[in-house]
Each structure stands twice: as structure tokens, then as C-alpha cells.
Amino acid sequence: MAIEQATGVRFRVRRMLRLGSFQIGSAMGDILVNSIWNRILISQLGIPAAPVSFLLALRYLLAPVSLWVGHLSDTRRLWGLRRTSYIWLGRGLMIVSLPFLGLSLNRFVLSTTDVWGWVFAFLSTLLYGVGTLVSGSPFLALVRDSAPPEKQGLAISTAETILIIFFAVVGIVFSVWMDVYSSRVFWEMVLATMVVGGFFWFFAVLGVEKRIDRERGRVEWETAVSAEASFMPVLRKIWSDQRTRLFFLFLAVATMAAWAQEAVLEPFGAEVFALPFDRTTRFNSYWQTATVLTLVGGAYVWRKRPPEQQSGITMGGLYGMALGMMLLAGAALAQQPRLIEVALLIFGAGFGVYTFGGLSLMAVMSSDKEAGTYLGLWAICILISKGLGTFLGGALRDILLLGFSLPTAVSYGVIFLLEAAGLITAVFILTRVDVPGFAQDVGRIISRTEAQILSAD
């Protein structure tokens, strides 16, 4: 039934590219907050990593909002639209948050203990985080809605690929724009993100939902609304499935391990090797460029492979990421800065393979009727885990470096080795998830024979 309902939607490259342009603003905002603002506070102003990491992790710790909003976008229209209005509401909050980011830096330059500086920093990260959560799962659901079942994994992967492409592009542009800290230049970046990012957040989704409704037939949506269920019973039904719980655990472990470097990667380059500001700003661009290349290559090589058949690919990506983290630890311990770029490229290549496979699995591990709720659950898992990973990376840096007085290189090396161990643990968990069985139960594959073939693969 689910497959028949979605057959009216065709995979359109133009629509995918338009939806993907939404990620231009996402990349600008995240680079500004998680890379540049973070580096200035820790390395330029000498603020400890733990409180900064906590502020960066705040949006992830509020992730239950994403699950609730995902359910709302399944069952209730806002301002006459099912997905789009929630997306615009969330992105509006993100735009409002950005001036507070600049105000916080203006205060911290005068005093790192300034109360108003911390108030502005908290307001900025809170509004930015809530906005991300309100818009995140409805946007993923809109992307999923825009493709037939066999292309839904590819659709989500395409949107993620465009995000990572612009992470790399924006990272390079911003590093050239501000090679040394300047309050005036930072404010220019804030205004550019508000204007350019805001434009694409509005334009990318304008009218898309109405076109999809026309293709699928309005009867399907009206039927879903008439059968509306309350949030908690739906959530209990979803969570009662052991496969859902195991997949949640897999995403949590993989995400925490992958993102523990988020708050410490640039300080690592500055504190262990005294690398300049513009070079450490490009660290994210290195691994994200490699991610883009493997994502694009994977989309071409595996484009005809059923999304239910992506577990092995996902595991291969996790092994590659673990190798990159081990090499990064080796660079720290052996005092070899030339290994950093090599390690980041390997990590990024593995991340691209993992992302392609993992996003396909996320599309599979979601039913059509409750897509927003399922994707909200996966989003909440990724966001909370990314936040915990970000915070734990910064906290471990402070504990090892300041608490135990370990050498700087050893402290960072231990963090990267722990990340590698977490990534390998995620591989083991994924082997326990029955993805083909879930796909059969929600109607993506029809026969048990198909499920057995996919399991054997």
C-alpha cells in the first residue's frame, strides 16, 4: 500500500537540487557558530573548552523538540502547510539568533567573564538550536516525500551531499575572508549569513510541498489527517520494535564517536602545532571535501542498489573513519603535522561512505505514514549524540590536559583513539539490526525471499 501511494511522485533532479540549495544557509550558519566562533573563544580569548562545548551542544540536548515537531508535521498543518511552515518557523529563529553571536564576542573581548557576554552567547545558541530542531525533521520529511520509495535514500543523500559541499566551500571562503580575528569582519559574516542563508532557506522550499501534494493526490494526506493519532501512542508503537531501538543505539554510538572532534579539532592544531588561524579553519574543509567526493562517487556507483542493502557499505565507511582517527592520534603523538591532512582526508572519505549508507538506512527504517515521526526520532538521536560527542570531546580535553596535566599531544591523541574505538563499536551494533525484516514489515519489500536475499548480502 505504501509503495502504491508513493508511485505518483517522480524523482526529479531539478527538484532535488532546489531542495539542496537550502543547505547553503545551513553550512554558513554552522561554520560561523561551530568553527569560527568556537575557535575565537577557545584559542583567541582563552576561554576553557568545556563551557564553550556545552553551549555548542545545547541545541543537541534539546533534540526531543525535533521528534515532537516531526510528528506535528505528519498530522497537523501550520498556516495551511504540512512541512513548509515548520521549516520557515525554525529557520526564522536561526536568523534572529545570529546578531547575539556577534554581541557576545564584543563583550568577551573586553572580559571573558562578562555576564552579558554569556547571556548573549546562551541566547544565540538556544535560539539557533531550537530553530534547527523545529525545521530539521520537517525538511528531511519533505525531501523524503519528494521521491518514490526506491529513490528516497538517494534523495536524502543528495541533500546531505550538498550540505557537505557547502561546508567545504564556506569553510574556505570564511578562512580567506578572516585570516586573523577582526570584530568588523565577523559582523560582516553574521550579516552575510542572515541575508544569503535566509534567502535560500525561503526559496528552496517555496511551493515544493504543493507540487508534491498534486503529484501524490490530496486524498492520501486527508486520509492521514482523518486517522490522526496522538503523539505518545505513536511513539510507544515505534519504540516497542527492537529493531528501532537497536538502530537508534547504532546511530547514537556512531554519531558520538564521529563528532567528538567537533570542538577540539581546531584547538588541536593551534595548541599542539601552533598552526595559524587560517590553516585550522580549513581542517573541516579537508575532511568534508573528501566526504563530498565519496558521497558523489557512492551515489553513482551504488545508485541502483536497493537502500535496504546498504548495511555493508555503512560498515565500510565506519572502518575508514576509525582509521582516520587513529592516524590523527598518531600525528599528535609522533608530532607530525604533515599527517593531519592525510588523516582528515581518510576520515572524510570514510564519513562519506558511512553517510551515503546510513542515510539510505534511515529512509528504510521509516514508514510512509509516520515518516516525520521516524525521521524526527533519527534526528533526535543524531542531534543528542552529536551534542554529547561535542561536549565530551571538549570536556575530555579539559580533564586530560588541565585535570591530569597530561602533555597536550597525549591528551588529544587519547581523544582521537577513543573516537576510533567508538566507531568500531558501532559496526558491531549495526550487525544486530534486521533492516530487511523492517523493510518487509512496512511494505518496502514484498516477500520474505527478498528480505532473506538482502540479509545475506
Is residue 88 a contact partner of residue 202, using CB atoms and an 8 Å limit?
yes
CB contact at 8 A, 171 and 182: no
What does the pLDDT look like over 237-281, one tens digit per residue?
A: 788 888 888 999 999 999 999 988 887 887 888 888 877 766 776
Question: Measured between alpha carbons, how far is 258 from 423 in angstroms, rounded to an integer?
Answer: 7
* The amino acid at 327: L
pLDDT above 80 for 405: yes
For the residues 82-91, what does the mean pLDDT come to? 82
The number of helices, as runs of H, and strands, as runs of E, in the chain is 24, 0
Residues in the chain: 457
pTM: 0.67
Q: Tell me, what's the pLDDT at 182?
A: 78
Give residue 426's pLDDT band: very low, low, confident or very high (50, 70, 90). very high
Q: Residues 430, 256, 266, CA angle at the centre, nearest 5°?
A: 135
C-alpha to C-alpha distances, 140 to 154, 184, 453, nearest whole angstrom: 12, 35, 29
The rounded distance, in Å, linking the Cα atoms of 88 and 75 is: 18
pLDDT recorded at residue 216:
58
pLDDT on residue 7: 46
Q: Which domains does the chain have, with CATH numbers?
A: 10-456 (1.20.1250.20)
Residue 375 has pLDDT above 90, yes or no: no
Poorest-pLDDT segment among 75-89, 202-216, 264-278, 289-303: 202-216
Helices 115-145, 49-61: inter-axial angle, 10-degree rounding: 40
